[in-house]
Structure 1
Amino acid sequence: MTGAAPAAGPAPHGDPASPSAPAKGGRGLLRIPLLQKLVVTDVLINVVAYMVMRGASPQYVDEIMIASLLVTLLLNTGLVYWSLLPLRTLEMTAGRVAAGDLAARVSFSRLADRNVSRIGTTINSLLDQLLADQARVRYLTAQVIGAADAERARLARELHDSTAQSLSAVEMLLTATWNDTGPDAPKGVLRERIGVMREVVTDALREVRTMSHRVHPSALEHLPLETALEVLARRTLEQTGVHSEMEARVHAPLSPRVASVLYRVAQEAIGNALRHGRPETVSVRLEVDYTRARLTIHDDGGGFDVARAESARTGMGLFVMRERLVLVNGELGIESGIGRGTTVRAVAPNVMEKA
């Protein structure tokens, strides 16, 4: 898989060109620090009150003082409220980011304190950089998975075209020699040894073919996904004595890329069930329409603690399944519990690639 690295994330929100950045020019006067706003406001009110008292009758001095105090209190309360209002926005933005919404950004108020607004601008810049880093990580993940798939395909071809062909030729020669050596021939020992060698070569050939299929299944190159999944379940499960159930509801053509990802998820999920769950039955269900594809794999095995497995990360199976689905904008869901079996659900949008 080749291609240029993804472009950097969106311009930081602290940039003057950004529509959500703090305004400049005349509106910048509204963004002076809160302490300065309070001092200027109190001075202006007191000056106005003093000038009013000088021209007013002495009997109204008390009323003017009370009115001045009330106005000062109201203005100070309003200034403090509007200046610190971005703190609530910061809290709400932090909550959305913690919930996974990395597109959340801190909005700005015209009366916000300049220092508080600077904090919001910094947070927005950090979130922009985080999105850019996430895009780069996903790009590198796609490169790694693509390179691994290409290497698996090359190895599978070599196993099939070279090793398997050689073992097949040896098997044919041994079979011919076995047939030419009758049971009454004087070389009974040779016949016995050839029989043992033929069994070994036959087993090795079967293992090579199975390994070639697991490393890079060629079924998807010639069969639709539902048939390939049925072959996978039959080959993998029935050899171990596990009963398999297959159900498919395909109402639209499936994107080859999505089909490959879902097949890999099924391969990993079935393999995990056999390695860890010891199930008696594994069911595979595929639903495809023009908008999405949904794959559900359920086994009645021993199950496991999903949260503990996710945090421990003792294996790469769950991580690789999730990353494969992320590459096609899909999602992976896992439900399991000790003694309750395991259900793996993979959902991906069915978007046909343009030729």
Structure 2
Amino acid sequence: MPLFWRIFLLNAVVLICATALLLGPVTVSSPVLLTEAAVLTAGLAAMLVANAVLLRIGLAPLQRLTRAMTAIDLLRPGARPVVAGHGEVAELITTFNSMLDRLETERATSAARALSAQEAERHRIAQELHDEVGQTLTAVLLELKRVADHAPPALGADLHRVQETTRAGLDEIRRIARRLRPGVLEDLGLVSALKALAIEFTRPGLAVRHRIDTDLPPLSRDVELVLYRVAQESLTNAARHAGARRVDLTLRRTPAGVELVIRDDGRGIDGAPEGAGISGMRERALLIGATLSLAPGPDAGTEVRLTVPAHRRSH
């Protein structure tokens, strides 16, 4: 029965009962007696309470749907309000769930295209940095060395400082290119790439320890890239924003698939809104059907956990 008719009939029943009582045992005289006023007041109160209870019961599914609509996050898919109620209410909840299914599918498709284009752009920029800027700075270093060999001693010291500055810039460009395009991931695999990543982020004041299982199942290139990018973003956040002094990186095999855990001893999340880096990690996790969670670590700090289900293994 439609919601309108249910509410209308419930109210009609209450009003018919009240009218029947007034026409029957309940009468009103003029002037109104105290007992009659008490009876009418009690009847009115009963009608209002009954009306409120009936409306509360009838509209409760809509209130639950409103709360669900407020809490829905497309980066955390799967949550759906329970289909309850009758008529239009159940139809409305079912339609809302169908809309969420379409939105999540469309978002996953668009995110896949965007991230694919992003990886291609990173590859292009890294290639240009390596081939153009890197080779140019290498040629500058060789020329500086040639000039320094023939320069007077007083000028040689200045040229040596310029050489060191140029060499430091070349090393930084190579480091940026490696981050943009993880060649070690393509050439040596995920385990070696994660170990190299841990070594790269280890510096004075920050120790990165890693524990990686040797019996990992075969993983597709997409899964390996997502695992690497999540680890890279997590280490970057720990080093730049969390003020961490120790980071533990763990990749292990689980009965459900594989699990990546990055745990630091930094300042923690503290209810701060998620930035573009974390949103990007969630987008990548959705692409491979993985689950990403961020929570306070056991000893303060932040724990990032990426769980990849077994059906995402490659064959």
The aligned counterpart of 2:248 is 283
The AA in structure 2 aligned to 1:332 is: L
State how far apart, in whole Å, the 2-side matches of 1:337 and 1:282 are. 11
Could you list the runs of 5+ residues in structure 2 that have no partner in the other structure?
Answer: 13-53, 73-77
Query: Deviation at 1:170?
Result: 2.1
What is the correspondence of 1:58-97 to structure 2 with a 5 Å cutoff?
A: none
State how far apart, in whole Å, the 2-side matches of 1:153 and 1:118 are. 52
Query: Deviation at 1:347?
Result: 1.0
How far does the alpha carbon of each residue in 1:206-236 deviate from its partner, in whole angstroms, 9 at most, with x for none?
Answer: 1110111122221110122122111111112
The share of aligned pairs that are identical, in percent, is 30
Instruction: Sort the Cα spacing of 1:165 and 1:97 in 2 relative to 1 into closer, same or farther, 3 A.
Output: same
Query: Deviation at 1:282?
Result: 1.3
- Does structure 2 retain, via aligned residues, the 8 Å contact 1:250–1:286? no
State how far apart, in whole Å, the 2-side matches of 1:147 and 1:90 are. 41
State how far apart, in whole Å, the 2-side matches of 1:329 and 1:99 are. 21
State how far apart, in whole Å, the 1-side matches of 2:267 and 2:4 are. 64
**Count of residues in correspondence between the two structures:** 269
Query: Deviation at 1:271?
Result: 0.9
The aligned counterpart of 1:138 is 108
- Does structure 2 retain, via aligned residues, the 8 Å contact 1:333–1:346? yes
State how far apart, in whole Å, the 1-side matches of 2:108 and 2:307 are. 19
Alignment RMSD: 3.5
| TM-score, normalised via structure 1 length | 0.64
- Does structure 1 retain, via aligned residues, the 8 Å contact 2:201–2:208? no
Instruction: Sort the Cα spacing of 1:187 and 1:91 in 2 relative to 1 into closer, same or farther, 3 A.
Output: closer
Could you list the runs of 5+ residues in structure 1 that have no partner in the other structure?
Answer: 1-27, 40-80, 110-116
| TM-score, normalised via structure 2 length | 0.72
Instruction: Sort the Cα spacing of 1:250 and 1:290 in 2 relative to 1 into closer, same or farther, 3 A.
Output: farther
Instruction: Sort the Cα spacing of 1:333 and 1:122 in 2 relative to 1 into closer, same or farther, 3 A.
Output: closer
Instruction: Sort the Cα spacing of 1:97 and 1:193 in 2 relative to 1 into closer, same or farther, 3 A.
Output: closer
- Does structure 1 retain, via aligned residues, the 8 Å contact 2:64–2:81? no
The aligned counterpart of 2:293 is 333
- Does structure 2 retain, via aligned residues, the 8 Å contact 1:287–1:295? yes
What is the correspondence of 1:187-206 to structure 2 with a 5 Å cutoff?
A: 187-206=152-171
State how far apart, in whole Å, the 2-side matches of 1:204 and 1:38 are. 80
Which deviates further from its counterpart, 221-230 or 88-97?
Answer: 88-97
State how far apart, in whole Å, the 1-side matches of 2:180 and 2:3 are. 62
Instruction: Sort the Cα spacing of 1:341 and 1:168 in 2 relative to 1 into closer, same or farther, 3 A.
Output: same
What is the correspondence of 1:24-173 to structure 2 with a 5 Å cutoff?
A: 33-34=5-6, 102-104=79-81, 106=83, 117-173=87-143
The AA in structure 1 aligned to 2:283 is: E
Larger radius of gyration: 1
Of 273, 285, 292 in structure 1, the residue corresponding to residue 238 of structure 2 is: 273
The aligned counterpart of 1:25 is none
The AA in structure 2 aligned to 1:352 is: R
The aligned counterpart of 2:281 is 321
Instruction: Sort the Cα spacing of 1:189 and 1:148 in 2 relative to 1 into closer, same or farther, 3 A.
Output: same
How far does the alpha carbon of each residue in 1:224-267 deviate from its partner, in whole angstroms, 9 at most, with x for none?
Answer: 212211111111223x4422211111422222211111111111
The AA in structure 2 aligned to 1:246 is: H
How far does the alpha carbon of each residue in 1:281-306 deviate from its partner, in whole angstroms, 9 at most, with x for none?
Answer: 2111101357411111111223230x
State how far apart, in whole Å, the 2-side matches of 1:316 and 1:38 are. 52
State how far apart, in whole Å, the 2-side matches of 1:37 and 1:280 are. 66
